[in-house]
Amino acid sequence: MAHVDWRIRGPEIATCNCNYGCPCQFNALPSNGNCRASMAIRIDEGHFGKVRLDGLKVAAVLAWPGAVHEGHGEAQIIIDDRATPEQRDALMTIVSGQETEPFATFFAVYTAMCEKFHEPLSRPIEFKVDQEERTASFSVAGVVEAKTEPIRNPVTGNPHRARVTLPHGFEYNEAEYASSTWKSMGAIANDFDKRHAHLAMIHIGPNGVIR
């Protein structure tokens, strides 16, 4: 099936309620029996057909009562308020898993595993990331705020570095793992400290991760 030609490339900040490492990345069940997550992407280079997406950001808050693959989740999407109506439509199409091969991207997987979609928001999205240092933050006023720092050795306090490569992953090829503190205050409420985070350079299109 032919899809609209689209592609996005840029840094992603992802956090969840799992222990460092997140068992989901290794086809295991979530640390606490359920999945709560938030994420944001800054699109450094992207397009949807002829619509340019460079410089825009998108964020999301997600929750599942069990593992993601068990479904029954809920999601709230936040689109950069600087987006034009055409850009907003394009971003909503991408992040809702449309114009994509079935289950080829994490957008498509998460959408398929959700049954409740809260009203999408158009808001300013603050976004900062230094992948090498494992420090990052994103926020949407009144909706979600998150920050990351290096995982630290519990004895010495020294930074501990963990980098994971997923040659067949549907989200990223390689990511730096970090520690997150985050909370969401909108339709989906969360509040977590010292939980999993990963920082990755996303490069993805309708057929999945571009390698």
Provide the residue count of the chain: 211
Report the predicted TM-score, pTM, of the whole model to 2 decimal places.
0.97
1 found inside a domain? no
Task: Please name the residues in contact with 26: beta carbons below 8 A apart, sequence gap of 6 or more.
Answer: none
**Which residue range forms the structural domain that includes residue 79?**
6-209
At CA 16, angle to CA 93 and CA 177, rounded to 5? Answer: 100
42-100 tens-digit pLDDT: 999 999 999 999 999 999 999 999 999 999 999 999 999 999 999 999 999 999 999 99
The domain that holds 20 is classified in CATH as 2.40.400
159-210 tens-digit pLDDT: 999 999 999 999 999 999 999 999 999 999 999 999 999 999 999 999 999 9
- HSE (CB half, 13 Å, CA atoms) of 153? 7
121-140 tens-digit pLDDT: 999 999 999 999 999 999 99
Q: How many domains does the chain have?
A: 1
Burial annotation 164-173 (CB, 10 A radius, 16+ → b, else e)? beeeebebbb
Cα 123 → chain centroid = 17
184 found inside a domain? yes
Among 65, 5, 9, 52, which residue's Cα sits nearest to residue 188? 65
154 found inside a domain? yes
148 found inside a domain? yes
